Amino acid sequence: MKAAVVKDFTSPLVVEEVELPAPGPGQALVKVLYSGVCHTDLHAAHGDWPVKPVVPFIPGHEGVGEVVAVGDGVKRLGVGDTVGNAWFWSACGACEFCVTGRETLCPDQRNGGYSVDGSFGQYMLVDAAYAPVLPAGVDLRAAAPILCAGVTVYKGLKESEVAPGQWVLVSGVGGLGHIAVQYARAMGMRVVAVDVSDDKCALARRHGAELAVNALTDPDPEGTVKEFTGGGVHGGLVTAVNGKAFSQAVGSLRRGGTLSLVGLPPEQFPLDIFSTVLLGLTVRGSIVGTRADLAEAVDFFARGLIEPTYTLRPLTDVNAVFDEMAAGRIEGRVVMDMSA
Ligand code: NAD
Ligand code: ZN
Ligand code: ZN
């Protein structure tokens, strides 16, 4: 099969013929039709994070396709089913986190396109107990970004504890952020968005943000957000790939506000102790979502409430897509068409 392979952390991916994987016990082999490209794939290919993937590997954790074979003992999936892969590829199922509804914290989890080969190829393996199943009749191109961007922002918005009618900040209007604006609206929240380009601000407004602030050209983004929302946002979600956005988001919170950190730039940001304590702020990390979160996120999409903005590209464009992503030039998501 053809796949895009990371050979080392400094070279472009190589699109080449690799061996077709065979499904082991509990696994299914999936013919990939489409795969979204997440900024996490770029971090993975660059070895940006403290725990690095082992090269060579195939990135991709927003793949959708059709089951073509199943391994021993698989009952949940059958040949012909439409399924996807995800970052949360599998977990132990038995640890304190797995048995208390927090399976994405499992220390023995496997991650799609990172510790297990992913969806940047014509076929991929999935764990039959963990793979998301897609309902009949949905547009599979638009469904691909739901499997990471969608579930991640949906979960992160829940973690922000913003109630219907309250203000939420979406910082970063990329693949995750433009979908976050839509989930927030569908969850009854009022949205303020921040990015560093006028095009991204326009995208946020198109998807329902009441205010979109360009943090590069506005001399006081926090002040603008606080004035517009009458004292600051009740909660926020940072998807931006830049440390500055994290400080700005904290500075945009209302007293008692909660910020979900989702973006993963390989840097630190200063958290001011005095204002965090005196204003009673909560800052927490949020990592993708459980199988139940993912099923809920897919259900919002299947009911027509979420419409990802995406561009279809062939797998052979993968390095160009990464360059455009690094430069912040992608509108919404890129979805790769594996048949192209
Ligand atoms: P993307 O490249 O599509 O979007 C990033 C956006 O951030 C762009 O629109 C860019 O213009 C914007 N941005 C850059 N600097 C900014 C600033 N200073 N202020 C505001 N906006 C700024 O990336 P993506 O696919 O949406 O992923 C975003 C991040 O989320 C990545 O770091 C990725 O690894 C991470 N991620 C985390 C999880 C999780 O579970 N926590 C899941 C998926 C992705
Ligand atoms: Zn992702
Ligand atoms: Zn576990």
Once rounded to an integer, what is the mean pLDDT over residues 99-106?
A: 98
63 and 112 share a domain? yes
User: Which range of residues forms the domain containing residue 7?
Assistant: 2-148+289-337
323 plus 237 within the same structural domain = no
- Whether residues 139 and 263 fall in one domain: no
Is the model's pLDDT at 340 over the cut of 90?
Answer: no
Residue among 46, 111, 241, 244 whose CB has most ligand 1 atoms within 8 A, to mutate: 241
Are 253 and 266 in the same domain? yes
Q: Which long-range contacts (CB under 8 A, 24 or more apart) does 203-210 make?
A: 203/173, 203/178, 203/309, 203/331, 203/332, 204/170, 204/173, 204/177, 204/178, 207/178, 207/181, 207/182, 207/309, 208/181, 208/182, 208/184, 209/170, 209/181
For the CA of 326, the closest atom of ligand 1 is: 2
Q: Which CATH number characterizes residue 273's domain?
A: 3.40.50.720
Is the domain of 141 the same as that of 207?
no
Which atom of ligand 1 is least distant from the CA of 240? 7
Q: Say yes or no: 68 and 165 in one domain.
A: no
Average pLDDT for residues 160-181, to the nearest whole number?
98
Residues 184 and 129 in one domain: no
144: domain CATH number is: 3.90.180.10
Work out the average pLDDT over 292-312: 98
**175 and 298, same structural domain?**
no
- Is there an atom of ligand 1 within 6 Å of 59 CB? no
Give 14-30 pLDDT, tens digit per residue: 999 999 999 999 999 99
Q: 8: CA distance to ligand 2 center in Å?
A: 20
Based on the domain organization, do 169 and 280 belong to the same domain? yes
Query: Looking at the structure, do residues 134 and 154 belong to the same domain, yes or no?
Result: no
